[in-house]
């Protein structure tokens, strides 16, 4: 959204933003450039001005941007995340130290969670200075997010902090390792290639002997995966959950497909799916079972933990032999032309199927639905939670986490710098270092990946580069806008300020939701994506609804937003299924 429209929106919405003072020194002109770009309403000018200010660097520059970000109203999602992209792209130590103090001081506010999420894209080893304060003194939910990023920062300073975490967590409880402890240990293992488990004394003893030596680090190999999916880029911190999915029974995940044979006869099998999520699961290597809609009511769900429903044609249409579908070829609502027999077929989920799916969720099952399923199932089964709004035109939008939701477990892995991007941050090699007295072994030529030596106290000098957090998201013609009815119980995960209404008469929300999650039922329920916290017996499962299709995105990064969301959901659902083990499920 550029030009006059955005400009008018900003001038009205920001109010006193442009009255804020700017810093002196070299950052003054850079901050003025940011304000000028905001006034113009031009997204490209804003991007250029942010690129300039991260080159200036320094605590005054980043402080100014932080002040501007806090004044952005909730309706200006695009501007908010643009500023956070700039803030998280600083690479110099003074700026990142200032950012770390800001995150800690504002730890209870949404912006702290969003900044930690934005820092996942950082390629600078100096990011350790932004993460350390919250890791040392923050709440566990934020510590966990920061530790997972720190695990990818290969420097002695990162090891210092992680060893400190392991010691502190061991003192808290010697009975069972906490999530924070496990994350810290996995981070230490990733950085050092040492295997000391959760033994604080072993980690501390080894590090005391080696902390003043240059740290020899290797780029982590992605493994043997070459699936073209997010599975190829999983770090050690998420691999355990994925391994659990690989070992799950085929009936553990069911995909409901709109392929019909009985209604048309086997010679005229019809595929009415608008998407094939089973193909994504196949490429990921996740066991699953495909069940056709006409067979679903008789399918045994006792081993099933999650159901995925492909978006499909849900409108009645003529299936007589002489029928010729007509209408706009880009319109999924084809109309019958050229026939007078009109044998009408209804491909929608039956009332019995809707009721069975509802009972499945209320009994603890997890359900992932896309696009039209919000109209076909979700609003019918849970009308007090979510409903289908107006129909949207075909267009591409920019998405980002809804403010304050960036650290939600279902968004894990989204926008994280890939391993190869982080490897590029090692801008020097062994030949550039004086290792004569460093007692460094010769590099094993058979070792995989790039290996470098990192010395304690070295400032990681890396060219500043604006790192993108927002991704593109394709919305198909005739998709339904997602309307949240119960804001206390429904979590808006991803949103966009760019979603267009069908006509000028439609009311457009400041931020439209493109992905949400909720637990139905009444009374107090367990949090969604709660990790180790066990849900009480009888707790309903989770419904995730997305406004998109797989394979319709414009790049791997955009597609991976959707894939990561699905993968996190499936890991959570499999954990819940295992906890319910032994209980008989709804048939």
pLDDT tens per residue, range 303-344: 999 999 999 887 777 767 666 666 554 444 556 666 666 677
The predicted model gives 183-206 an average pLDDT of 92
Q: Domain for residue 301, yes or no?
A: yes
What CATH number is given to the structural domain containing 539?
3.40.50.880
Q: Domain for residue 426, yes or no?
A: no
| Whether the predicted pLDDT of 290 surpasses 80 | yes
pLDDT tens per residue, range 445-459: 334 456 667 777 777
The predicted model gives 32-46 an average pLDDT of 88
Euclidean distance between the first and the last CA atom of the chain, given in angstroms as a whole number: 49
The predicted model gives 290-313 an average pLDDT of 93
The H-or-E segment that residue 546 falls in is: strand 543-546
Q: Is 454 helix (H, G, I), strand (E, B) or coil?
A: strand
Verify that 103 and 201 share a domain, yes or no.
Answer: yes
What CATH number is given to the structural domain containing 195?
1.25.10
Structure confidence at residue 364 (pLDDT): 92
Verify that 336 and 374 share a domain, yes or no.
Answer: no
Structure confidence at residue 473 (pLDDT): 80
Work out the percent of the chain whose per-residue pLDDT is above 70: 76
pLDDT tens per residue, range 511-545: 789 999 999 987 667 788 865 556 777 789 999 99
The H-or-E segment that residue 419 falls in is: helix 419-423
Contact 393, 502 (CB under 8 A): yes
d(CA 493, CA 63): 28
| Whether the predicted pLDDT of 478 surpasses 60 | yes
Q: Domain for residue 229, yes or no?
A: no
Verify that 296 and 385 share a domain, yes or no.
Answer: yes
Indicate whether this model's pTM tops 0.85. no
Verify that 321 and 359 share a domain, yes or no.
Answer: no
Both tokens assigned to 176: 């069972």
Query: Bigger pLDDT: 425 or 301?
Result: 301
How many domains in the chain?
Answer: 3
The predicted model gives 253-261 an average pLDDT of 90
Given 178, 212, 246, the domain boundary residue is 212
Q: Is 254 helix (H, G, I), strand (E, B) or coil?
A: strand
Residue 60 pLDDT level (bands cut at 50, 70, 90): very high
Structure confidence at residue 321 (pLDDT): 65
Structure confidence at residue 219 (pLDDT): 55
Verify that 325 and 395 share a domain, yes or no.
Answer: no
Q: Domain for residue 526, yes or no?
A: yes
Verify that 94 and 134 share a domain, yes or no.
Answer: yes
pLDDT tens per residue, range 564-582: 899 999 999 998 888 876 5
Work out the percent of the chain whose per-residue pLDDT is above 90: 42
Structure confidence at residue 269 (pLDDT): 78
Structure confidence at residue 324 (pLDDT): 63
| Whether the predicted pLDDT of 119 surpasses 70 | yes
Following DSSP, what letter does each residue of 74-88 receive, concatenated? Answer: TT-HHHHHHHHHHHT
Structure confidence at residue 165 (pLDDT): 95
494 φ, ψ (degrees, to nearest 5): -125, 145
Query: Range with the lowest mean pLDDT among 173-182, 359-368, 379-388?
Result: 173-182
DSSP3 helix / strand / coil % (the chain, rounded to 5): 45, 15, 45
Verify that 388 and 259 share a domain, yes or no.
Answer: yes
Verify that 127 and 268 share a domain, yes or no.
Answer: no
Query: Range with the lowest mean pLDDT among 22-36, 41-55, 382-396, 573-587?
Result: 573-587
Contact 548, 562 (CB under 8 A): yes
* Beta strand 324-326 pairing with 335-337: antiparallel
Query: Bigger pLDDT: 503 or 562?
Result: 562
In terms of residue numbers, what domain contains 87?
3-212
Query: Bigger pLDDT: 7 or 567?
Result: 567
Q: Domain for residue 13, yes or no?
A: yes
Verify that 282 and 319 share a domain, yes or no.
Answer: no
Verify that 498 and 534 share a domain, yes or no.
Answer: yes
What's the mean per-residue pLDDT of the chain? 80
Structure confidence at residue 570 (pLDDT): 94
Query: Range with the lowest mean pLDDT among 53-57, 90-94, 317-321, 336-340?
Result: 336-340
Verify that 364 and 330 share a domain, yes or no.
Answer: no
pLDDT tens per residue, range 136-155: 999 998 999 999 899 988 89
Structure confidence at residue 1 (pLDDT): 44
Contact 14, 51 (CB under 8 A): no
The predicted model gives 163-174 an average pLDDT of 88
d(CA 421, CA 423): 5
Structure confidence at residue 441 (pLDDT): 39
Q: Domain for residue 219, yes or no?
A: no
Contact 586, 363 (CB under 8 A): yes
Structure confidence at residue 534 (pLDDT): 64
pLDDT tens per residue, range 397-438: 888 889 989 889 899 887 665 544 444 443 333 333 333 344
Structure confidence at residue 445 (pLDDT): 38
Query: Bigger pLDDT: 464 or 254?
Result: 254
Structure confidence at residue 333 (pLDDT): 52
How many helices (H) does the chain have, and how many strands (E)? 19, 19
Both tokens assigned to 473: 């998201």
């Amino acid at each position: 959204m550029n030009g006059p429209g955005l400009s008018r929106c900003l001038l009205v919405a920001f109010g006193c933003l442009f009255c804020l003072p700017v810093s002196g020194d070299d950052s003054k002109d850079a901050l003025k450039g940011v304000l000028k770009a905001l006034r113009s309403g031009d997204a490209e000018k804003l991007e250029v001005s942010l690129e300039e200010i991260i080159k200036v660097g320094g605590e005054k520059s980043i402080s100014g941007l932080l002040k501007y970000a806090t004044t952005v109203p909730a309706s200006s999602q695009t501007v908010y995340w643009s500023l956070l992209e700039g803030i998280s792209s600083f690479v110099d130590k003074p700026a990142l130290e200032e950012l770390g103090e800001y995150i800690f001081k504002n730890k209870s506010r949404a912006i702290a969670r969003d900044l930690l999420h934005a820092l996942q894209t950082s390629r600078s080893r100096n990011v350790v200075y932004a993460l350390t304060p919250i890791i040392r003194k923050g709440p566990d939910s934020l510590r966990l997010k920061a530790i997972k990023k720190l695990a990818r920062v290969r420097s002695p300073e990162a090891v210092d902090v992680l060893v400190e975490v392991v010691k502190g967590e061991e003192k808290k409880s010697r009975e069972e390792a906490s999530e924070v402890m496990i994350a810290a240990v996995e981070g230490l293992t990733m950085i050092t290639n040492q295997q000391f488990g959760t033994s604080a004394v072993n980690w501390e003893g080894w590090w005391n002997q080696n902390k003043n030596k240059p740290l020899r680090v290797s780029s982590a190999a992605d493994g043997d995966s070459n699936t073209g999916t997010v599975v190829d880029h999983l770090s050690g911190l998420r691999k355990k959950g994925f391994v659990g999915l690989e070992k799950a029974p085929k009936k553990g995940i069911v995909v409901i497909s709109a392929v019909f044979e009985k209604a048309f006869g086997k010679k005229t099998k019809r595929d009415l799916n608008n998407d094939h999520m089973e193909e994504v699961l196949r490429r990921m290597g996740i066991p699953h079972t495909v069940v056709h809609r006409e067979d679903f009511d008789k399918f045994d769900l006792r081993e099933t933990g999650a159901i995925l429903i492909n978006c499909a044609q849900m409108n009645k249409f003529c299936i007589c032999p002489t029928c010729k579908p007509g209408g706009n070829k880009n319109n999924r609502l084809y109309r019958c032309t050229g026939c007078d027999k009109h044998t009408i077929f209804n491909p929608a989920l039956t009332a019995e199927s809707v009721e069975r799916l509802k009972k499945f969720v209320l009994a603890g099952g997890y359900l992932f639905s896309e696009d039209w399923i919000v109209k076909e199932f979700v609003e019918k089964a849970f009308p007090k939670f979510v409903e289908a709004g107006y129909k949207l035109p075909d267009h591409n939008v920019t998405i980002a986490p809804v403010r304050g939701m960036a650290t939600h477990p279902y968004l894990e892995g989204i926008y994280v710098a890939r391993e190869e991007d982080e490897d590029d941050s090692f801008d020097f090699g062994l030949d550039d270092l004086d290792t004569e007295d460093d007692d460094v072994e010769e590099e094993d030529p058979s070792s995989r990946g790039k290996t470098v030596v990192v010395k304690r106290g070295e400032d990681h000098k890396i060219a500043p580069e604006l790192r993108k957090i927002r991704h593109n998201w394709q919305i198909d013609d005739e998709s339904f806008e997602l309307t949240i009815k119960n804001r206390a119980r429904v979590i808006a995960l991803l949103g966009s300020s760019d979603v267009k209404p069908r006509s000028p008469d439609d009311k457009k929300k400041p931020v439209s939701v493109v992905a949400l999650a909720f637990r139905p039922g009444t009374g107090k329920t367990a949090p969604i994506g709660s990790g180790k916290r066990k849900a009480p017996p009888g707790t309903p499962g989770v419904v995730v609804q997305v406004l998109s299709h797989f394979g319709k995105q414009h790049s791997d990064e955009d597609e991976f937003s959707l894939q990561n969301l699905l993968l996190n959901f499936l890991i959570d659902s499999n954990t819940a299924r295992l906890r319910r083990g032994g209980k008989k499920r709804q048939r």
